[in-house]
A and B are shown apart, each in its own frame.
Chain A
């Protein structure tokens, strides 16, 4: 028994590899369906969910590859509030609370940027926020100061909540009646203005440089200063109701995650994981439906000859001679972007090819003597087709089904690449479309391009290999 199995595997090596790849994809699908809740799937398009990730960061294992070259990219670090050292100074009128984060910087290259999101519950009197950076050479820069007075006049938080993740506006926004949340970006104008007051310390002109190039730089030349940096977030509060709730220091690195991040700070690995069930669903549904519709249509049109059969053949011919891709595009522009509509379109243009092949086979089989014998015995047409012809065509249909899946997957990703995909489901083609729209290939974000395309290729190759070996098995079966 085991010897037979090994022999079967050896003969169809391709099919075995294809089955392994498919198994790996099914594991990913099950993991995605079971462990990723619907809510986190919907957050793919929500920029606030991803705001702690770096933009366009390479995968973490890229640093391992770069080790022989002696060049390391800085890692992404998130410091939570509990990591900070707090010391409070209580006085009669006010309370000063200092949260200190210490960050060890040892890289050869400037870090990209940092940002500090905070949430404060307000009391009667608005507090004052200040942020200081203490460098290894004991210089202390004050980079941000805000008194939060103007926040009380903000009535609605909806249009300003969109601003809070914009890179250049750090305006604090009112979440509910007494909670304010904001985000200080190192690239904002206020930080730059505060830093320009220290320009006499540096021996080179700092007017055009970005904030992190000034903060982390040595004083005599514009090279990074290694050592321990302290970020001090101070809150001067004037009544006892002011509480600092949620404070983080996010040092934007250039590597993050298993497969990197994209332009919108989303994790590429997460995107691929939730794209797997969608791709498999589309491929299998389209291939299954078009194979079965083609099977029965072709059978029937081959079996009933003369006028009805030739008329059905003409319909098939019309569908075959149209260039489907261009018609897809024109129809999709007019009717909008919906997943089920896309599937319907693929099925509509997919069944004629299968139907033609099935019709040819059915014509051949129709002329065999045993069919004539059954007819003479009085079997109805329907039963003849079902009992004699269909079992012969079934292995061939299976092989066709396995070969139509990659056509459906590739077609769907091509249409999503053009922008006609369903925006609520992130598919691999959509990720590639966003990559192309952000010029990822000219800017060199290879992790964003390779990952979804590789998954498309693996899925297609798996089904092609399985289909090929099924074809081989069918041919061997026929020769017997």
Chain B
């Protein structure tokens, strides 16, 4: 029996929402990690029972959590809950061999690029300081391999189920690194896209640096921001410095990318080598999330927000906009969504799609609602209304 599992990260814990394939009746479990900020929770495409969660706190730092039973129970990789077999590395059985919460920037001479500073708000250079993991992206093929996008912006990878992490320093070591600067939310690497057809290709997006691509498995990266224009920069078309809010792709067309930028909806048909604006007739082209329909690669979803200084829906009406033409022409989707006095925001990682037919669309709000549509966005219902402020939403379609 097909089932849906929605993984929700909030300011005060994680929640797991489950339903059968009809998507009518939902069970809410949680909070997991009560009281902690859960920036992201995501399951492995290779093993849906393997789920990773980023748990953090301004007081006590970063914790990586892992589940091997679909979120029923959790453990810190490499802690005493995850005992190592005795003997093969001289370690003590039951004690950690790795350090699952340790994210240390690579400044070794061996990389050849021991970058140590980036641009700070006042224009001076500032040391890279790890704050938290914003996004976890499990490998498409290996449940023990997972990527982490962090603040200050860098990309880490674990190949041992989250027990230990190593930076892929080629990204932060790009010659443009000293020109990256934080946005209001910090300088975060928030989006990681993996290419199903080319395992050597990967995309990342950073606020406020822009979008980057590797074609050699993460060793070397280059900015792919040609066509973006950001009026807050002295040179609006500069190679880096753009505040990209999120990028999305359809798995069947990895060369076609869609972007929600600080302002502007953008599209690339050449794997990011160039971009064109497809904001079209949207009431506002500011917003955070963007996603693609599971079965229609030209059907794209955004949630317009009034402006960069007013982070709520225009006119107090919560409207998801859908384009069936890959951008340009957009239609408001309003059935079941509040159409007056609504002033919530939808953050960049808080929208996801399932792979059932018809496609299900899900998003969470800063007001604690998680909305679902089981018919590609035509009609919405709240799964739950009163969670803490939602930071992220991911969906697993279970066989």
**Does B bind A?**
no
Interface residues, chain A, CB within 8 Å of chain B? none
Interface residues, chain B, CB within 8 Å of chain A? none
